Amino acid sequence: MADFGIALAASKTGGTRMTETGMSLGTPHYMSPEQAMGERTLDARTDIYALGCVVYEMLLGEPPFSGPTAQAIVAKVMTEKPSGIIARRDRVPPHVEDAVLTALEKLLADRFATAAELAAALGGELPGARRAAAVAARACLPPCPRGPRDGCRGR
């Protein structure tokens, strides 16, 4: 979760780099392609990508890309599409899968411009869809292995 706000922090440095030349800032599992490339200009869409990674992991229990090294993960971030969500969790609503995969698009222009757009897409466009999406997402989670006293809440 430490990746959130990097775009804002970078913009507040007055355009100066927060890392050395050729270095990237972020956790490889949640790093956007533009972060991996060491782009100078990052914006909210970089954080949208990281949020998409978190939601993907919440739904499937693993990040969209993994590998034995940071370099292997970054190579996948740059070149591969994430696996579909519904193929592995058929109870996830199609609009949720579409929203997450849009957040994980390689090109900035293909992602949501704002978190509000992503939230609207995750919630669907029909009245009550936000509640339905939350219920569907909760139904996709495995049962809690422990009771509430052990740190597992809900369910």
CA separation for the pair 80, 20 (Å, rounded): 27
Q: Is the pLDDT of residue 43 over 90?
A: yes
Predicted confidence (pLDDT) per residue in 49-75, tens digit: 999 999 999 999 999 999 999 999 999
CA separation for the pair 100, 84 (Å, rounded): 10
Distance from the Cα of residue 113 to its chain's centroid: 14
Specify the CATH class of 6-150 in words.
Answer: mainly alpha
Mean pLDDT is lowest, of 8-22, 37-51, 105-119, for 8-22
Q: What letter would DSSP give residue 127?
A: T
9, 3, 62, 8: which is closest to 30 by C-alpha? 3
pTM: 0.68
Q: Are 108 and 43 in contact (CB under 8 A)?
A: yes
